[in-house]
Amino acid sequence: MAGAVWGSMLGYLLLLLMFTGGMYPIMDMTAGEKERKTMEALLVAPAERREIVLGKTLTAIVSILLTSALTLMSLVISFKSGPGGRSQRAQEIQRTMGTIPLDGTVVALLALTLLPMAVLAASVMFAIALKARSFKEASTYLTPLMFLVIFPALLGGLPGFKITPALCLIPIFNVSQIIRGILLGEVSMVNFGVTLAANLVYAAIAFVLATRTYENESVLFRT
């Protein structure tokens, strides 16, 4: 019961945090630098463009993972130590939510599942925000991306879907489904492997796209 409840909502929550947790640092490192006129000084540094993109992407990934970890930790502490209701039903719900199916294997599988998605989220947002001329414009560009994430993340956490290797190729949806399977203890290693491989490919493509965008002078100095 606890695995089903947490599996249905945790994937959606973590995926949403993947994008919201890194949005503002990425906007500050792209459009924010354009506004502050600090990008030119960075570009003349003895570092290649891909090294600069890698550094900025790693910064965003750290922010994403920290936001997700701290939010998950706060939820765990709240449900385990929060005051329960007086009714027996409320106490049963709190006991169920406080029983979180986490052990070393589950945490390792969750980390392997989320890491490529963090790279993908950071790279995609970096490439999009880099096209903006101001912080406000970058926010306008990235906000619709949240709506593209919400639907597949929510759909993947719903019970009744039987994930197949073909469905494991759908980004965001596959992660939500795999997280649910991990917490239920019924994840297929074939589906897990296909999901991991697909997301690694997507993350690599997104990082190359972000690097190519950063190498485009017309994007960097767009007026």
Q: Which DSSP string do the residues of 71-117 spell out, in sequence order?
A: HHHHHHHHHHHSPPPSSHHHHHHHHHHH-----HHHHHHHHHHHHHH
Query: What is residue 124's predicted lDDT score, i.e. its pLDDT?
Result: 92
In the three-class reduction of DSSP (H, G, I as helix; E, B as strand; rest coil), residue 118 is classed as helix
- How is residue 168 annotated by DSSP? G
d(CA 172, CA 148): 10
Query: What is residue 199's predicted lDDT score, i.e. its pLDDT?
Result: 93
Contact assessment for residue 31 and residue 133, using Cβ atoms and an 8 Å cutoff: yes
- Give the amino acid at 43: L
Locate 211 and state its tokens: 């690097």
Query: What is residue 207's predicted lDDT score, i.e. its pLDDT?
Result: 93
Q: What is the pLDDT of residues 144-200, one digit of tens each?
A: 888 888 888 877 767 777 778 888 888 888 888 888 888 777 778 898 899 999 999
Query: What is residue 205's predicted lDDT score, i.e. its pLDDT?
Result: 94
Locate 204 and state its tokens: 């690599």
Query: What is residue 98's predicted lDDT score, i.e. its pLDDT?
Result: 56
Please, how many CA atoms are within 13 Å of residue 217, restricted to the half-sphere of its CB?
Answer: 2
Query: What is residue 198's predicted lDDT score, i.e. its pLDDT?
Result: 93
Contact assessment for residue 194 and residue 176, using Cβ atoms and an 8 Å cutoff: no
pLDDT under 70: residue ranges of the chain: 1-7, 79-103, 157, 222-223
- Ranges assigned E (strand) in the chain: none
Contact assessment for residue 213 and residue 127, using Cβ atoms and an 8 Å cutoff: yes
Instruction: With CA atoms as reference, report the closest residue to 220 among 49, 35, 34.
Output: 34
Locate 207 and state its tokens: 């990082």
Query: What is residue 204's predicted lDDT score, i.e. its pLDDT?
Result: 93
d(CA 63, CA 56): 11
d(CA 155, CA 52): 36
Query: What is residue 223's predicted lDDT score, i.e. its pLDDT?
Result: 59
Query: What is residue 138's predicted lDDT score, i.e. its pLDDT?
Result: 87
In the three-class reduction of DSSP (H, G, I as helix; E, B as strand; rest coil), residue 198 is classed as helix
Instruction: Report the chain's terminal Cα–Cα distance, integer Å.
Output: 55
